[in-house]
Each structure stands twice: as C-alpha cells, then as structure tokens.
Structure 1
Amino acid sequence: MDDQIESLIIKFLTKEANIHELQQLELWIGNPENELLFHEYIKANTIMNMSVGKYDRKKAKTIVLRQIRKEKNFLGNRVMKFSFLKYAAAILIGALTFGYFYFTENEKISNPVVSSPVIDNETIKPGSDKATLTLEDGSIIDLDGGKTYQTKNISGNGRELIYADQESSKDIKYNYLTIPRGGEYFLKLADGTGVWLNSETQLKYPVSFVPDSPREVELVYGEAYFDVSPSTEHNGTKFIVTNRSQKIEVLGTEFNIKAYSDEKNIYSTLVEGSVAVINGPSRKELIPGQQSILDVEKNVVAVNTVDVASEVSWKDGVFIFREKPLKDIMKVISRWYDADVVFENKDLETLKFRGVIGKHQEVEHILSIMKSTTIKEYEIRDKTIVLR
C-alpha cells in the first residue's frame, strides 16, 4: 500500500485529518480498483472483534466510508457534534480493530542495534471479564472465568451483573463489586443505570434505592463509565457518584470517572447531558466534551475540552492514545494485562506516542510495534515487562 494512503488512514483514526485528506481517502477507498488492496491491508493490520468472530468486507468498507463522511461534515460545519465524538471509535469495534502505535516526538532516541526480545514464558495475557462480589453480610462471590450467579434479585452470566428493581426500606444494604488488575465487568444497578468498570476498580452501591431520595454510589477507586437512568423516571431524584475527594451530581447522562488511588489526579469526562463536579466549596458544571481534572494534593480543579472518544474507548474494546507519554500508556497496559512495568531507560518514560490498540491482542504484539519506533529492546519475565 502507498505510504501516503496508509498515513491518511492513521490520520483519520486519530482524527488528525483535514477535509482535503478525508476527501482523498474517501475517493481512494471508493475506487473499485483499490478494493482488494484496502481489504488486504485491513486484514493484515487488524484483530477481529471478539463478538463478531469474522471479518465482514462489506461492513468494514461501509463503516469506514460512513465515518469519513461524518468527519467531513463535522469539520466543514465547525459544529461540535458530541454524538459523533461518542461513537468516533465505531470503526474500531464494529467490524475491525486497528493495532498501530507510533512515536510523535521530533527527536528519536538513537536505536542503531536491536536484539530479539527475551521472553521467559507466556504468563502475560489480555484482560477478561472477571470480578468479585461482596454481599451485605460480608460473603464474597467469585465471578471469574465466566461463572454465573443467580439470586431472587441478582442475575450474573459471567460478563455482567444485573440487579432487579425491588421494594426498598430505609435500611439500605450495600454490595461491592471489585475488578482486579486484568479484568473488566458490566453492572446494571437496580434503578437501571449501566456501569462499565475498568481494571483495578471498586464500586460500592445499594442493592436497591430508597424512593424519592438521591441515588448514591461510591467509586472507591479505579475507573467507571456511567450511563445514568434519567431522573424523570425516578421522581426527579438525582444520581450522585462520590469518591475520595469529590462528588458528581447527575440528572441523567453519560460520563466517565477515573480515580485511581496511585494517581494524583481525578478525571471526570462528560459524554452527554450535564453534571456538576463538587469539591468542597468548588462547583464546576460540565458540558459535553469537557473534562474536570482535580489535583488531589493541591485541591484545585481545572476544566478542559478533551477528545471524548479517546477518554472512553476502553469500555468498547480499544485503547486510543493521543500524544500520551509512554509512562502513562504503560500504566494502562499494566492494569489491563496485570503486569508490572520497569523502565531501565528512564528517557523512554516521557516520549509521546499516538495510536489505537485492540485490548484483546497479545502484549508482545504491542511491544513489537513500539520496538519498531523507539524501544531498543524489551524483556518479559513472568509478570514483568522491562523496557530498554
């Protein structure tokens, strides 16, 4: 494939392409003479969606062209369409998932000689659906390995846990859902709110909510995406998410919170609707596409406009990184693959990369792509990745 066309595909996926470049890509993909080449490239540079199981040529081309036209319309009108931002990763999860990763600094680290990676064994595997459920009496239920769980009001099929709405008393009973490193899980609360829980996350929530009272849950630590059941369906009651340093008030919306205990910042990203981020006397109201960043040590909140797709893509089976330092990227990878990361070459920590990574591919594939850009060599020993 022509390097220029490959570059256009990468720019499109990372939303860096201008209108002229999108027109070029649309014309090239639409040309029947390029159809075979396009599909061979897709198949050579993708992993198949786990739920689809096979590559659909017609669907892949349709998705690509549809998203290109949406992006052109977005750029041409200069109108912020957050429904598009929300689904910007659709191309990556519908029929195909690209795996590419490239260095974006002006200077590269000298890399004259590379050696074959040292891999002691294959103990580092991609994450999967797994969790532990702690009941109100302290009992712990293992939900790993696709195990099912069924009670009168709770149903679990190994991938998700669903709570049925039930009559509630003022005596609230709480459950905890804990996701280990290398895990993820979906939870549907009794009010109908959907919660996607990322690796190394714990959520505390009531088995049922008290009628006409605020619906409150606690993100003890970690990252979660909330699709909140509207307040109009619950007599106007707010939905509140608390964590160690802030709380978020919601009427009905979709948003993401990242509040890991080993990070100094808490990130709250609004996808749809509206939320108020409250920290002591400070109250910040967000609009779609904005992210609040709470510096826990300084107790200061800043609000920025962000690329929503990059912030929430983890729940849809991909990681999208835009100008992220390698240290931050490897922190994400270490949680998902349940592996420790050691930088023997500290200069690598600050190098910035851009890329899209399918979550269900082997970690060696990701590292080999990095190796083609900046990493001189890497080593895998048991549960540790060493970067040199």
Structure 2
Amino acid sequence: MKLPEDIYELVLARLAGEKDVVGEEKLRDWLGESERNREAYREFCALWYSCKWGNMREGVNRQEGWEYVLRCRRRNKHRSIWVRLAVAVVVVFMIGFVGLDWSEDKNVSAWGNTDIKLILSSGEEVNLKTVGKGKIQDEGMLILSDSAYLDYSEQTENVVGYNELIVPKCGEYRLRLPDGSVVVLNAESRLRFPLNFSGEKREVFLNGEACFEVAKDSLRPFIVHTTKTDVRVLGTLFNVSAYPEEGQTEITLVNGAVQVDAGELQEKLRPDQQLILDNQTLRARVRNVDARTYIAWTDGLFRFDAMSLEQLMLRLSRWFDISYEFKDEALKNVRFTGGFRKYDNINHIIKMIGEITNVSFNIVDNKVIIDKK
C-alpha cells in the first residue's frame, strides 16, 4: 500500500522522535480508520527498524545509507514504501561475512555480566570472569585466557582429557580449539571438547547453539554431536542450534559442505541451506535460506526471518534472562521479521516489536506480559 504523503511525513516524524501533538492526533485518527492503514504502518515501521538496527553495525557506510533514505524522502514521496526504503535495507544489511572475528578487543562477554565456567579434566570448575587475561593449566597444558575467549591452539604436549565450556543466560564466548577451529558459543549453551584431537576424528559435543569455523583437515573429519544429530565436516563455516526445549534442531551452512546424520537420516547440505529436524519424530526438511541471518548473532546482531513470537520470546529469555507470559495463546504464532543489536536494552527491543506488530508488552518484575493491543 502507498502511504499518503502527509501520513508518510507524520510516521517518519514519530519514528525519529519528533514531538508534534497535532500530528500525533492526525496519525492516530488515520490508524483508527482501517486495518489496512494499520498494516501499512506496521510494514513501514518494520523497514525503518531494519535500517536503524542494521545501520549500527560496524563496517556499514552509515552516512551514505542514511543520505540515501533522506534523498528518497525528498524526491520520491509518491512511490510505494517498499521502493523508498528497500535499497536502504540492502545497504545496511548486505555485508559480506569473511569469518569469525578472532579479536581480544571485542570483549563480547561484557554484554551480560555473567559467570562463564570452564570445567577442567580433573573436574575443577574455573570462573573465567575472575581469571581474566592469563593462563590456565590443565594436564600440563597451558590454555590462554581472556575475558572473552579461550585459546587451546598453542599446545606443545600430547595431552589427554576433556574440558567443558558452560555459557549461562546473557552470555557468549569465543573458543579456539586445539586444531585451530574457532567456535562462538551462544547463551545457555555448553560445549565439551578434548584437550587434544588425536585419532582419526575431531569430535565435540554441543548442547545449545554455536557457530563453527572448522580448520581444514582432509584426513580427520570434524564432528559436532548433539542429542539428536551428528554434523560431519572437513572444513567449513556453519551454525548449529540444538536447544532441547525448542523441539527442533537447526543446522545452517554458510560455506563448504556438511553431512547431517540423525538416526537413519543422512543429508548433505550446500551453502545457504538449512536442515530443520523435529527432535521427536526425527523428520527433517531442508530449505534455502540466507545463512548469514543465522550467524549474525556472532557479529552482535540478531536477525529473524518470519520467526514466531513464541520462539522469539524464548530466545530473548536466554539473552536477557527474563521470563514471559502469553495472555492470548494465538499471539504465539505471530510472525516477526527484523533485527536488532544484541547489546540493546530489552525495553528498546520490546518497544520495537510492539511498533510493528498488533501486540502489547508490559514488563513487570523482570517478566514480560504479552497481550493484544
């Protein structure tokens, strides 16, 4: 739907935070006229927030992107909202992904003031937040540590044993494995891995979500075990989401190739394909996706493509350690497409979702109450 020029200007003013009592009253009257008007408004807001949140990412030409939006506003007022803003969305989101950024300075764990735990082969538990930058010793091996990462790649001894990294809600952690593979572990996840990859396979065990950039080794496949699947690769970039409470496992391939084994199922994926496995029936389907959407969380941005509000709230509850309640069960199936920064305040995110859906959110004592507007 094409927004009337005067309404278009009022919507832009509202989203930009401009105060106009008369304009707000006129906009409310227009929204009250029909569901068609309200749907057009929500569509416009979705595009606006996609631009705004994407524009905050590093590596984006912010000035150029927003100058484009302003030029559209001045010159193309009579064109549809998709034509006006679609290119701006592309400007801020279409950023090439070249690999997991291995940098001490990102300090990604600072987003949540959480206690990341490392379980050593002896069973000793180490709080990585208190260790800070330094070295941890296990079975004669020195592990390099910082507030945001662990590095096992500098080993000199053929040590034997397993470590387990545990990331709670509101957390995230980077890890370089003994073979040089890089893993980013998401909130409420745990990864068990050996101090040394010996033998014919490189095996790790995941509960939760992680993004893997696997070092190439044509002689030793890399295998990620979850409760329902085994993901086998030689060297590639992919994401595994295997939270038991979500009811399904998702494997998304960015580049390279992977083979997924689940019971009698064997499926090979190509880049920009995703396998979705029902954890109960073990039935799977493969679909084509923009794989970068599913690893954007490793770059500080969460993106969603037609995600149900129920699944979105479940993920928000991990990232921000909140609880939630649906007053109307039908709202669980509302679909949401958009994105926001991981480190944003939960109140800002809830406000954004409320702007583009016909849903109200009320936060009471760290609990989000979700109902119809």
TM-score by length of 2: 0.69
**Contact 1:129–1:145 (CA under 8 A) maintained in structure 2:** no
Q: Does 2:172 correspond to 1:156? A: no
Which portions of structure 1, spanning 4 or more consecutive aligned residues, are displaced by more than 6 angstroms? 63-66
Equivalences for residues 176-215 of structure 1 within 5 A: 176-210=164-198, 212-215=199-202
Q: Does 2:282 correspond to 1:299? A: yes
User: 1:288 is paired with a residue of what secondary structure?
Assistant: coil
User: 1:315 is paired with a residue of what secondary structure?
Assistant: helix
User: 1:229 is paired with a residue of what secondary structure?
Assistant: coil
- 1:64–1:213 CA distance, 2 compared to 1 (3 A): farther
Deviation at 1:256, TM superposition (A): 0.4
Deviation at 1:262, TM superposition (A): 0.6
Give the helix-richer structure, 1 or 2. 2
2:203 to 216, 241, 244: 216
User: 2:173 is paired with a residue of what secondary structure?
Assistant: strand
Please give the alpha-carbon distance, in whole angstroms, between the structure 1 residues aligned to 2:55 and 2:289: 28
> 5+ residue gaps in structure 1?
8-40, 67-83, 92-124
Q: Which structure has the higher relative contact order (CA within 8 Å, separation 6+)?
A: 1
> 5+ residue gaps in structure 2?
13-47, 69-89, 98-109
Please give the alpha-carbon distance, in whole angstroms, between the structure 2 residues aligned to 1:307 and 1:225: 15
Deviation at 1:344, TM superposition (A): 1.5
User: 2:246 is paired with a residue of what secondary structure?
Assistant: coil
Aligned length: 290
Deviation at 1:167, TM superposition (A): 4.7
- 1:129–1:188 CA distance, 2 compared to 1 (3 A): farther
Q: Does 2:224 correspond to 1:241? A: yes
Read off the aligned partner of 1:218 and give its amino acid letter.
Answer: F
- 1:48–1:139 CA distance, 2 compared to 1 (3 A): farther
Identity fraction in percent:
30
Please give the alpha-carbon distance, in whole angstroms, between the structure 2 residues aligned to 1:231 and 1:164: 15
Deviation at 1:320, TM superposition (A): 0.9
Please give the alpha-carbon distance, in whole angstroms, between the structure 1 residues aligned to 2:226 and 2:359: 40
**Contact 2:53–2:339 (CA under 8 A) maintained in structure 1:** no
- 1:138–1:61 CA distance, 2 compared to 1 (3 A): same
User: 1:231 is paired with a residue of what secondary structure?
Assistant: coil
- 1:46–1:255 CA distance, 2 compared to 1 (3 A): closer
Please give the alpha-carbon distance, in whole angstroms, between the structure 2 residues aligned to 1:64 and 1:288: 31
- 1:281–1:369 CA distance, 2 compared to 1 (3 A): closer
Provide Cα deviations, 1:195-243, integer angstroms capped at 9, x if missing partner.
Answer: 0111110000001111x52111111x100000000015xxx21111111
Match of 1:33 in 2: none
Match of 1:88 in 2: 94
**Contact 1:186–1:194 (CA under 8 A) maintained in structure 2:** yes
Deviation at 1:179, TM superposition (A): 0.6
- 1:138–1:265 CA distance, 2 compared to 1 (3 A): same
Q: Does 2:278 correspond to 1:278? A: no
User: 2:332 is paired with a residue of what secondary structure?
Assistant: helix
Match of 1:347 in 2: 330
Match of 1:142 in 2: 127
Deviation at 1:166, TM superposition (A): 2.7
Deviation at 1:374, TM superposition (A): 3.6
Q: Does 2:373 correspond to 1:386? A: no
Deviation at 1:49, TM superposition (A): 5.4
**Contact 1:126–1:336 (CA under 8 A) maintained in structure 2:** no
Provide Cα deviations, 1:326-366, integer angstroms capped at 9, x if missing partner.
Answer: 11111111110011111122232111122111111111111
Read off the aligned partner of 2:187 and give its amino acid letter.
Answer: S
**Contact 2:224–2:230 (CA under 8 A) maintained in structure 1:** yes
